[in-house]
Amino acid sequence: MTPLTRTTLFQTALFTFLSMVAFAANAIACRWALDAQLIDPVTFTNIRLGSAAAVLFAILFWVNRHTQKNTTPESRQTSGSRGSWRSAVYLFIYALTFSYGYVAISTANGALILAVVVQLTMIGYAVRKGEPLHFAEWIGVALALLGLLYLMYPKLSTPSWWGLVMVIISAFTWALYSLNGRKSQNPLRDTAFNFYRTLPFVVLATIISLILLPNTFITTDGLWLALFSGAVTSGLGYILWYKALTQLSSSMASASQLLVPLMAALGASWLLTEPITLRFMLAALLMLGGIGLVIHGRNQYRRAALKLANTSRSEAN
């Protein structure tokens, strides 16, 4: 990891902030297009994935063209990565359920649930791999779940329950996509090819929607919002995020993503006139505070484990 000079620190903070803005804007664009019935969810998803793939490949081509002269044999081998079909399936399910979720659930609630379920899935994966949760972390998980229950019960009507299920599936598959890509040595190339690999699913979804879903439609505004969601907030947003990740610890990366629901709530209140309710604020305090406590506890645990390992190594020498 590059030493954090003043310039590097500023760039990392800027890239992190802009990527969080992009992720929040993605939720707003999706809700805007679908709640106003400017486009149907399947068409929105297809345009989003297709435009993101196009932008990512354009950027990949530009990067390869400007770095080809300076590449080593080892970097050429790394640059041959092409993502995976498993990641593409996760990505497609995430994007499709993301769209269907925002038909029935508000921007702020959707972004909040998405962020918390992603973090809880990551925590569950760590526990499954043998990393125990300590007392503070269990309290954090309990607070996050309590906040989720408080947010969703008993105010939900039947359509909102459908939205809740869609957003939870979206969050779960996004977490799986992220976990599957943790070993990537060339995130830009892998991401571009993962989006490219979703295109067969896009074609299949288009055919099925035309045959089975009579309410398939698109307007000019819906098209532009879908293109914005794909080319800008997904394509460019992921580039900024991966750039920031090179200088962020895992705990900082997790903590920074907790800003997304708050940004989405403020943006939706401004652009879509969605109210920021007391229920949402209290639930956000419980959920984000709980996840923040887990992240802090996990970071402290890893530091202690690293310190113990270094002490044992020193005594052995």
- Give residue-wise pLDDT tens across range 37-91: 999 999 999 999 999 999 999 998 888 887 765 555 555 555 567 888 999 999 9
Q: What does the angle CA 39 – CA 44 – CA 50 come to, to the nearest 5 degrees?
A: 145
- Give residue-wise pLDDT tens across range 231-274: 999 988 888 887 777 777 666 677 788 788 889 999 999 999 89
Q: pLDDT class for 134, splitting at 50, 70, 90?
A: confident
Q: What DSSP letter does each residue of 73-128 carry, written as one string?
A: HHHHHHTT----HHHHHHHHHHHHHHHHHHHHS-HHHHHHHHHHHHHHHHHHHHHH
Distance of alpha carbon 288 from alpha carbon 259, whole angstroms: 9
Distance of alpha carbon 38 from alpha carbon 33, whole angstroms: 5
Token pair in block for residue 174? 């996004």
Q: pLDDT class for 202, splitting at 50, 70, 90?
A: very high
